[in-house]
A and B are shown apart, each in its own frame.
Chain A
Amino acid sequence: MNLVVDTNILFSTLYDPASDAGKLILFALERRVNLFAPESVKLELEHNLLKKLAYAEAEARETIAALPVKWVESGAYAEAMDVAKGQLAHEADVPVLACALVLGYDTVSGDKHLLSIKPKIARVWRLEQLIREIQR
């Protein structure tokens, strides 16, 4: 199963590996799912680690490298940005949806904006719902 994840999921997994977000990462480490995220998510993670948590650059790189996520360059989802913008008022979520649309993968998020996307546009899983589905 291929899935696009957002920043909230990745911070949640780092915060609590025993949480549903943590379970998702463990599934990815065991190659039961493949996780993808747009470059913007990586930059947001990096920014927060460096600026809010005072990580050294090497520490931030190591932390991001420990996440089993394939990063998708912005050029790869640029063509879907306008469509995604038309669906979302919250700007930070736009690259996540654009990335999912281009790749043709479902998204997993706890974000209310992404979860409000109509199913005919893209499927967005709630984390707990997805974990149940994978464990079935």
Chain B
Amino acid sequence: MVTTVAISPELARELKLLKMEEGFASIEEVIEKMLVEYKKRRFLEASEKFRERMKEKGLKLEDLTK
């Protein structure tokens, strides 16, 4: 099943260009890849903050898991 998403013509052009440049089979594949990359970045940012906070608090991993 598919659905329609309204985006500006300019963004649609950019997505098509990216699809061709990167060799994706479809716009859907482009968007999926972008979502995965976005989520990876969000996770890595969360991880960085977590490590910083542990360092600030002088805690080890075992202090959180016991």
Chain A residues packing against B (C-beta within 8 Å): 7-8, 11-17, 22, 25-26, 29-31, 48, 52-55, 59, 62-63, 65-68
In the complex, which range does the number of interface residues on chain B fall in? 20 to 34
Among A15, A30, A31, A62, the residue within 8 A (CB) of B54 is A15
A29 and B40 form a contact (CB under 8 A): yes
Interface residues of B in 12-45 (CB under 8 A from A): 36, 39-40, 42-45
B39 and A29 form a contact (CB under 8 A): yes
B50 and A68 form a contact (CB under 8 A): no
How many Cβ-Cβ contacts under 8 Å join chain A to chain B?
58
Q: Interface on chain B toward A: helix, strand, loop, or mixed SS?
A: helix
B50 and A15 form a contact (CB under 8 A): yes
Among A12, A16, A29, the residue within 8 A (CB) of B43 is A29
Q: Which 8 A-B pairs have the closest CB atoms?
A: A66-B46, A14-B50, A53-B53, A63-B46, A66-B43, A66-B42, A8-B65, A48-B64
A26 and B51 form a contact (CB under 8 A): no
CB-CB under 8 A from B51, the residues of chain A are 14-15
